[in-house]
């Protein structure tokens, strides 16, 4: 059976304590102890499965709907005492060179963090283990979870952008390979992936900027950590813009080379048509069978015409070849 609750624990003083009861008991325990927070990790819950979390956190219906249905753009919203952050996750599929998009929703309060993940990309198990190995970071409270999730997502962006760069280099080589096939469809396909990449990472920039500027009280003690994540994200954003421009250049060069090849083919066809027109015209003249055509009576008329045709055709071939048409 699919596990909806992936993990749950209480963290106090940088130390993890497992939860034996249900998540409502965990919420009550965290709120009663004071200097601690509970982190509940959910994976693709449906409306009924998310109902308990909704009731415990007194979530706004719109926030609960977003968590269940997903397909949201990266954003940060506040519903009462709850901070709601949406992140787009990206994973690169080697077999198809596609970028798979998922989502992570983070519900953040002073003593509660709920993460809701959609899609197979960016599992949060490694993030949780990294935090548990960093008690000094965990001491910053629930905001440390939001930082760690953002850091993992942005780090994955960096890996994906590198894979996209490798694909673009491959397309560049294919474009300038004389024996390569038409790669126009491949260029457009990769360009769509890059645009999808941009829609995932670009809206996250203002979210992190709000945190870094100190406008999110819950993340006040972790601003320096978020500044590092923002720097990495801005670097990725610049690379995505550069890749998009490079793909435009690759496409332009490819279409220009295709046009050049088509022009060369047309010139060759026109050149051969010009050469073939010579014997066709001469044969057409003598094929009219007029009575008064003295050449028809000459004993050397036929070989003379053949020589003239061969000479003119050879002359045209030489000139056209020299000019690059053949």
pLDDT recorded at residue 260 = 61
Q: How far apart are the first and last CA of the chain?
A: 69
Using alpha carbons, select from 137, 148, 153 the residue that is nearest to residue 113: 148
Low-confidence ranges of the chain (pLDDT < 50): 1
pLDDT recorded at residue 233 = 96
Q: Return d(Cα 33, Cα 7) in angstroms, integer.
A: 20
Contact 217, 142 (CB under 8 A): no
pLDDT recorded at residue 120 = 76
Strand-pair category, 82-93 with 75-79:
antiparallel
pLDDT recorded at residue 19 = 79
Residue with tokens 């960016």: 122
Number of residues that make up the chain: 326
pLDDT recorded at residue 261 = 62
Strand-pair category, 112-118 with 37-43:
parallel
pLDDT recorded at residue 13 = 81
pLDDT recorded at residue 98 = 87
């Amino acid at each position: 059976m699919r596990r909806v609750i992936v993990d749950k624990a209480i963290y106090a003083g940088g130390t993890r304590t497992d939860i034996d009861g249900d998540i409502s008991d965990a919420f009550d325990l965290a709120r009663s102890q004071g200097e601690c927070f509970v982190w509940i990790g959910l994976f693709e819950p449906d409306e009924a499965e998310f109902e308990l979390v909704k009731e415990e956190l007194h979530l706004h219906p719109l926030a609960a709907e977003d968590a269940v249905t997903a397909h949201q753009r990266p954003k940060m919203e506040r519903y009462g005492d709850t901070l709601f952050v949406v992140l787009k996750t990206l994973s690169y599929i080697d077999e198809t060179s596609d970028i798979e998009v998922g989502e992570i929703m983070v519900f953040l309060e002073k003593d509660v963090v709920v993460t809701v993940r959609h899609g197979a990309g960016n599992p949060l198990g490694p993030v949780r283990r990294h935090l548990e190995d960093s008690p000094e970071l965990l001491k910053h409270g629930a905001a440390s979870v939001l930082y760690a999730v953002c850091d993992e997502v942005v780090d994955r962006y960096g890996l994906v952008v590198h894979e996209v760069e490798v694909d673009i280099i491959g397309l560049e080589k294919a474009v300038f390979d004389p024996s390569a096939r038409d790669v126009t469809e491949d260029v457009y396909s990769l360009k769509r992936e890059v645009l999808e990449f941009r829609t995932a990472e670009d809206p996250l920039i203002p979210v992190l900027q709000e945190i870094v500027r100190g406008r999110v009280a819950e993340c006040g003690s972790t601003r320096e950590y978020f500044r590092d994540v923002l720097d990495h994200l801005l670097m990725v954003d610049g690379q995505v813009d550069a890749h998009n421009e490079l793909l435009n250049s690759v496409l332009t060069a490819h279409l220009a080379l295709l046009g050049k090849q088509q022009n060369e083919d047309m010139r060759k066809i026109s050149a051969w048509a010009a050469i073939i027109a010579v014997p066709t015209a001469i044969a057409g003249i003598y094929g009219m069978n007029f009575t008064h055509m003295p050449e028809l009576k000459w004993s050397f008329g036929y070989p003379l015409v053949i020589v003239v045709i061969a000479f003119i055709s050879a002359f045209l071939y030489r000139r056209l070849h020299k000019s690059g048409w053949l």
